[in-house]
Chains A and B, each alone.
Chain A
Amino acid sequence: MSLVNLAHVCSHLQNASKARLGLTSIPVSKMHVKLALGLQREGFLSSVTLGGPAPPKPFLLQAQQDPEQLEVMAHKLAEEPWLAYPVGEKTKPPLGQEQVHEVHVPENPARRRLWLGLKYWQNEPVLRYMKLVSKPTRRIWLTSEDLGKITRTRESSYVKGLTHPGECMFVTTDRGVLEARECVERRVGGMALCRVW
């Protein structure tokens, strides 16, 4: 698949951060979803939601448990923390029924959008730089050894090391879209997608 859409996503996220947007949307594709989830795992994004042209309801406007119920749940969890992971689906959940929010997803895939929540800390965007490493005309595949060097701030295979504080690189592998350090840990290589910091 062409990386042009991904390049657009990168630019769009940078622009949205500069504009201090709280929520933004990108076109949906399998790779975009995987990358968005990877970004969320690394803490760059607060939420990833599949939706339509209209944004999903913000968290504060969603229906929530009433405070008494929350207090009871907290008390229960403090005594028996394992109740947070209920076993078996048939039994009644010990913490009460989970709140599930309906999000309208259009039938037509072309009308679907991926809604991303952006993060800010101390008046500064958490994600401020996002650029492609592989280009649509020049893909770069990296082995786990290359990635090891790159994560240790050295250049390898014409890819600059991750020298900025907190810099991440996402790599698409046969195990999904992973962060470069995770690839090194699992000893898998793949095609470099983008670098973020």
Chain B
Amino acid sequence: MSVCRPAQCLLTKAASTTLPRRPPQRAFHASAPQQGRKKRPHYPSIKADDLKLLTQAAEAEYPIYDITETRLLAKKYTRSQIAAIKAAESIIDARDVLTQGQRRTDSWRLNYEDDLAEVDPVTDRPERLTGDDIKGPKTFTEANEVERDENISRLATENLAKIYPNGLPENESAIQSAMDAAITQATLDPRATYTSKNPRALKALGDERHSIIAPDLPRVENRMARQARRLSTEEVDDPRQKRLLQYMGWDKLKLRSIRVKTLVSHGVVNQTRMGKIRSNYFLTIAGNQDGLLGVGEGKSVEPEEGRKQSVMSAIRNMRPVPRYENRTTFGDLERKVGATKVQLFSRPPGFGLRVQHLIFEIARVAGLQDLSAKTPRSRNKMNVIKATWEALTNQKLPDEIARARGKKLVDVRKVYYGGSVH
């Protein structure tokens, strides 16, 4: 190294060595020093041409009132009000309104473009009129046959005119059906059956504002409404659900009262020579919260399909759970599935469900209220659920035990103290 350096000095240009060097700046940081940020003005500098364009746009959006408009304003407002409006207009620059003014985006804004000058049928209440609004006598008499026929023909013509404002169609059958509809409507109209000397009262009969029946809700036409709308005919019938209902002999209402909960879901893989096939496994419990409990499993490549499978099989597998006083089990139960052992203990009233979460869900769905449990061995979720289900549904009832032993058995709880034990 010490040999090389003089050689390098010889080969380099003389100028570079002779130039005065910048004194070395001491670096306090390992990273390279950042260049000082260029000063930017607080306000963007707008060119005169841009400003002119802006002014033109503002004038187009918010034009100055011309003479016809001021005349219209004069009809509505007093002179002092017009002066105030003009003062406000002159103070607020149209350019500022254009650049700074913005549409409301908050959730309380109206969902339609409105200056609230008209009544909206959805948001605004319908106008109601009472008998006090009718001037003159409010007595009606039943129309005789001649009057009635006359009224019906008049009203039918009116209805036809409403149905076809642009003239009757060419089609014969269409005319016939329209005529029938119009006449039926006219016959049902109260103006056909009643007459009054007071034309205002007669008019009130046909006025919707006097009707106690609320007008039909308007058909809202937007994307959300179109997606949410569903007719009973359009409702898709799940074939699996249909089959389940047939199997159980139920209707849809009863199916809706069944509580269903998916407690276990995970992916499983089938290894074939083609490769791995992934699918989803679901374990669902179902119950009516009144002593029926079912557990169902489902597996499919499609998650939703597997879940549905498990739900349907859970409902199909529902079996009765005997409950003591509709709240707890008959004595202690124990069941072993695989390496999982579940011990269920019956408990006094008001004890609650002091059990682990899976057994809690099962007990709630089955309608048990007082229970405690232990899972002393393996706590595999699927096996815990299956063991609990089997334990609850395979209980031995005291009546059966007594019958098997040939003994007489009487439950004396709630017999003494007038049955006033909790």
Is A43 in contact with B396, judged by CB distance below 8 angstroms? no
Q: For window 148-192 of chain A, which residues contact chain B by CB distance below 8 Å?
A: 163-167
Q: Does B79 contact A (CB under 8 A)?
A: no
**Contact flags (1/0) for B312-338 with A, using CB distance below 8 Å?**
000000000000000000111000000
Cα(A119)–Cα(B403), bound, Å: 12
A168, closest chain B residue (CB): B405
A44 within 8 A of B: yes
Tell me whether B401 and A166 are in contact (CB under 8 A).
yes
Interface footprint category on A: 10 to 19
Contact of A166 among B345, B396, B406 (CB under 8 A): B396
Q: Does the CB pair A126–B331 fall under 8 Å?
A: no
Provide the bound-state CA to CA distance between A167 and B396, in Å. Answer: 12
Q: Judge if A102 is at the interface, Cβ distance under 8 Å.
A: no
What sequence of 0s and 1s flags, for each residue 116-157 of chain B, a beta carbon within 8 Å of any chain A beta carbon?
Answer: 000000000000000000000000000000000000000000
Whole-angstrom CA separation of A43 from B397 in the bound complex? 16
Is there an interface contact between A165 and B405, defined as CB atoms closer than 8 Å?
Answer: no
Interface residues of B in 329-374 (CB under 8 A from A): 330-332, 345-346
Tally of chain B residues near chain A (CB < 8 A): 17
**B404: contacting residue among A119, A164, A167, CB under 8 A:** A119
Check A122/B332 contact, CB under 8 A, given A43-B405, A163-B345.
no
Q: Nearest chain-A residue to B333 (Cβ)?
A: A164
Given contacts A121-B400, A122-B400, contact A163 B405 (CB under 8 A): no
| B404 A165 Cβ-Cβ under 8 A | no
Interface members, chain B 376-422 (any A CB < 8 Å): 395-398, 400-407
Chain A residue contacts of B398, Cβ below 8 A = 165-166
* A interface majority secondary structure: loop
Q: Is the CB of B331 within 8 A of A43?
A: no
B407 touching A43 by the CB < 8 A rule?
yes
CB <8 Å contact, B331 and A165 = yes
A42 at the interface (CB under 8 A from B): yes
Least distance between B254 CB and chain A CB atoms (Å): 31
Q: Once the chains are docked, how many angstroms separate the CA of A122 from the CA of B399?
A: 13
Q: Is the CB of A165 within 8 A of B403?
A: no
A191 to B407, CA, bound (A): 25
Q: Give chain A residues whose Cβ lies under 8 Å from the Cβ of B395.
A: 165
Which residue of B is nearest A121, CB measured? B404
- Max chain A C-beta neighbours (<10 A), residue from B332, B345, B396, B404: B404
In Å, the complex CA distance between A163 and B374 comes to 15
Q: Is the pair A166, B332 in contact by a Cβ cutoff of 8 Å?
A: no
Determine if A163 and B406 form an interchain contact, defined as CB atoms under 8 angstroms apart.
Answer: no
Min CB gap B368→A, angstroms: 16
Chain B residues in 8 Å Cβ range of A167? 331
Check if A121 sits within 8 Å of B331, measured CB to CB: no
B405 and A42: CB pair below 8 A? yes
Taking a contact as CB atoms under 8 Å apart, the answer to whether B405 and A164 are in contact is no
A14 CB to closest chain B CB (Å) equals: 15
Q: A165-B396, A166-B398 are in contact. Are A43 and B332 (CB under 8 A)?
A: no
**Bound CA span A167–B330, Å:** 12
- Across the interface, which residues of A come within 8 angstroms of B397, CB to CB? 165
Q: Which residue of A lies closest to B407 (CB)?
A: A43
Nearest B-chain residue to A44, judged by Cβ: B405
* Partner pick for A126 among B330, B345, B404, CB 8 A cutoff: B404
Enumerate chain A residues within 8 angstroms of B345, measured Cβ to Cβ. 163
Which chain A residue has the least Cβ–Cβ distance from B398? A165
Least Cβ–Cβ distance between B328 and chain A, in angstroms? 12
Do residues A163 and B407 form an inter-chain contact, with CB atoms below 8 A?
no
Bound-state Cα–Cα, A44 to B330, Å: 20
Assembled-state Cα–Cα distance A92/B413 (Å): 49
Cβ contacts under 8 Å, B405 to chain A: 42-44, 119, 126, 166
Residues of B within 8 A of A122 (CB): 400, 404
Interface string of A114-131 (1 = CB under 8 A from B): 000001011010100000
Chain B residues near A165 (CB, 8 Å)?
A: 330-331, 395-398, 401
Return the chain A residue nearest B332 by Cβ: A163
User: In the complex, which residue of chain A has the Cβ closest to the Cβ of B331?
Assistant: A165
Determine the chain B residues whose CB is within 8 A of the CB of A166 once the complex forms. Answer: 331, 396, 398, 401-402, 405
Q: Which residues of B contact A44 (CB under 8 A)?
A: 405
A26 → chain B, closest Cβ, in Å? 20
Which A residue sits closest to B346, measured CB to CB? A163
Asked if residues B330 and A43 are in contact (CB atoms below 8 Å), the reply is no
Distance from A160 Cβ to chain B, minimum over Cβ atoms (Å): 10
Q: How far is the CA of A86 from the CA of B407 in the complex (A)?
A: 26
Considering the chains assembled together, what is the distance between the CA atoms of A49 and B203 in angstroms? 105
By a beta-carbon cutoff of 8 Å, the part of chain B in contact with chain A is 330-332, 345-346, 395-398, 400-407
Extra contacts besides A42-B407, A126-B404, A163-B346 (12): CB < 8 Å: A42-B405, A43-B406, A43-B407, A121-B400, A122-B400, A124-B396, A126-B405, A163-B345, A165-B330, A165-B397, A166-B398, A166-B401
18 cross-chain CB contacts under 8 A? A42-B407, A43-B405, A121-B404, A124-B404, A163-B332, A163-B345, A163-B346, A164-B331, A164-B332, A165-B331, A165-B395, A165-B396, A165-B397, A165-B398, A165-B401, A166-B396, A166-B405, A167-B331
Q: List the 5 closest A-B pairs by CB distance, nearest first.
A: A43-B405, A121-B404, A165-B331, A166-B401, A163-B332
